């Protein structure tokens, strides 16, 4: 899969299920010795993530694949290490923290300047120049996440051309490390093949940069009266432990999730909205009922069409479309066995199970014949369940789900308030995807905006 040049999700993963005519299959991958299951069945995914949670873990290989970059934390640990990391994260994503849009507002203002000001300012006809917004969006989410976690933003939006700047070196190293880890994950048991000098150097740079924030936090006196949300997580960790490596690894794991998950969601949402001017108009009409100054957690939640846009984008383009678990003991999956696939399946200890919410989210028997169509209106009166898992489920569900949804909702709302038009060069061109740990549009998000005179 590492060298596969097509769309891995549409051209490789999805056809595996269609060829077998089943949503739970035993697979044989060349050179992979241990048992392997491929699953896109809600009942079985529910068992793995929730009802039989204790039978499954990420397994020791996950730490070996991700460890050089992210270390030991919520995404790479099982057992006590995982539960400890989970407990550390809980306070930082409380409702109070997530609903504070103060720092998000400042970074969105900069994003709007990048998209509609300066060299990209509107021409006489009101349209901006064509621009690939994806790098801009990733810089925005990196800036917001670093300020939220570290108390200081890398401010990559302010210096996108300064390649020698230390903060831009970090941005580039972070991207290289993320891509490298994505490749190691796809290699499975042969993760060690992808361990070149460039990857190792990028990982070292990221860890050293974050360690600098840790050292400063550990050297500062703890002031209980501080109320700012900036750097709250780092302050809380430094009060809990003096272990520099533990703090660094937790920060890196949250930074990865905070940057990539939200950036992926915003990127695909813009790409879909740019292909559907009616949807953009509906979104704009809804958010214009609120002023930019009064947008809040509560008002964003009340925007039904905005929430439907996010839900539909996450259905078709879940940030982590493929995930894995390993059986920690002999167990069973509820369905998938027998001649009709309705009997349990015995799973030996050590079995690797790969489940794809991407495939599940596009099943026509669940979502209808238009399952491959982006249509926010389908969410009118529709509720999620284990057939809709953009942020996982069960004890290991994404702790930053509301953070990502709120940041994405606020960003889209501000964009729709600022521009009355959005379009892409070719609305009929299929959206190709590149898979790392998260999924991205292969060709970026080239769009232009129209500002009302």
> Which structural domains are found in the chain, ordered by start?
8-450 (1.10.630.10)
List Cβ neighbours of 281 (8 Å cut-off, separation of 6 or more). Answer: none
Q: Round to the nearest angstrom and report the end-to-end CA distance of the chain.
A: 49
Place of tokens 């964003």: 300
pLDDT for position 163: 45
What pLDDT, in 10s, does the model give residues 150-196? Answer: 888 888 888 655 544 666 788 889 999 999 998 998 888 889 999 99
pLDDT for 314-350, tens place per residue?
Answer: 999 999 999 999 999 999 999 999 999 999 999 999 9
Which residue bears the tokens 């999924």?
A: 439
Which 8-state DSSP code applies to residue 410?
A: H
Annotated binding-site ranges: 398
Is residue 2 pLDDT above 70, yes or no? no
User: Among candidates 104, 8, 24, 51, which has minimal Cα distance to 343?
Assistant: 24
- Name the β-bridge partners of 345: 333
The per-residue pLDDT for 227 is 47
Report DSSP state, residue 127.
B
Would you place residue 266 in the very low, low, confident or very high pLDDT band (cuts 50, 70, 90)? very high
**Closest Cα to residue 358, out of 267, 420, 435?**
435
Condensed to tens digits (0 to 9), the pLDDT of residues 357-368 reads: 999 999 999 999
pLDDT-based confidence at residue 93 (cuts at 50, 70, 90) = confident
> What is the C-alpha to C-alpha distance for residues 263 and 319, in angstroms, rounded to an integer?
9
Residue 223 has, within 13 A of its CA and on its CB side, a CA count of 8
How many residues appear in the chain? 453
Annotated binding site for heme: 398
Residue 319 and residue 265 in contact, taking contact as beta carbons nearer than 8 Å = yes
Read off the pLDDT of residues 378-422 as tens digits, 9 standing for 90 and up.
999 888 899 999 999 999 998 889 889 999 999 999 999 999 999
């Amino acid at each position: 899969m590492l060298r596969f040049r097509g769309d891995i999700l549409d051209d490789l993963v999805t056809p595996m299920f269609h060829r077998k005519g089943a949503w739970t299959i035993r697979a044989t991958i060349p050179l992979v010795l241990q048992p392997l299951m491929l699953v896109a069945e809600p009942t079985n995914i529910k068992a793995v993530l929730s009802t039989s949670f204790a039978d499954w873990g990420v397994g020791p290989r996950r730490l070996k694949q991700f460890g050089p970059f992210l270390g030991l934390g919520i995404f790479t640990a099982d057992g006590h290490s995982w539960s400890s990391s989970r407990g550390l994260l809980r306070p930082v994503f409380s409702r109070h923290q997530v609903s504070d849009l103060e720092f998000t507002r400042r970074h969105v203002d900069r994003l709007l300047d990048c998209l509609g000001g300066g060299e990209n300012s509107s021409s006489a006809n009101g349209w901006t120049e064509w621009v690939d917004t994806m790098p801009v969006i990733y810089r925005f989410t990196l800036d917001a996440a670093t300020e939220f976690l570290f108390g200081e933003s890398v401010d990559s939006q302010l210096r996108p051309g300064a390649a020698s700047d230390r903060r831009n070196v970090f941005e580039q190293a972070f991207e290289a490390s993320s891509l490298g880890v994505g490749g190691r994950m796809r290699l499975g048991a042969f993760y060690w093949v992808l361990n070149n000098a460039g990857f190792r150097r990028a990982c070292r740079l990221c860890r050293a940069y974050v360690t600098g924030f840790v050292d400063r936090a550990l050297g500062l006196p703890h002031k209980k009266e501080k109320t700012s949300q900036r750097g709250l997580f780092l302050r809380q960790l430094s009060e809990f432990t003096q272990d520099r490596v533990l703090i660094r690894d937790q920060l890196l794991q949250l930074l990865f999730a905070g940057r990539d998950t939200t950036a992926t969601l915003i990127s695909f949402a813009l790409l879909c909205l740019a292909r559907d001017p009616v949807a953009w108009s509906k979104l704009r009409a809804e958010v214009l009922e609120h002023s930019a100054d009064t947008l809040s957690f509560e008002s964003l939640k009340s925007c039904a069409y905005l929430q439907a846009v996010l839900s539909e984008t996450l259905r078709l383009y879940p940030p982590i479309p493929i995930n894995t678990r390993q059986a920690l003991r002999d167990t069973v999956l509820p369905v998938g066995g027998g001649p009709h696939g309705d009997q349990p399946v015995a799973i030996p200890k050590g079995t690797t199970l790969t489940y794809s919410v991407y495939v599940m989210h596009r099943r026509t028997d669940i979502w209808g014949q238009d399952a491959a169509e982006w249509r926010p209106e389908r969410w009118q009166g529709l509720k999620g369940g284990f057939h809709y898992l953009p942020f996982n489920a069960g004890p290991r569900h994404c702790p930053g789900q509301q953070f990502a949804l709120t940041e994405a909702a606020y960003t889209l709302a501000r964009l729709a308030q600022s521009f009355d038009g959005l379009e892409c060069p070719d609305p009929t061109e299929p959206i190709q995807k590149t898979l790392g740990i998260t999924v991205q549009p292969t060709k970026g998000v080239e769009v232009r905006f129209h500002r009302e005179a």
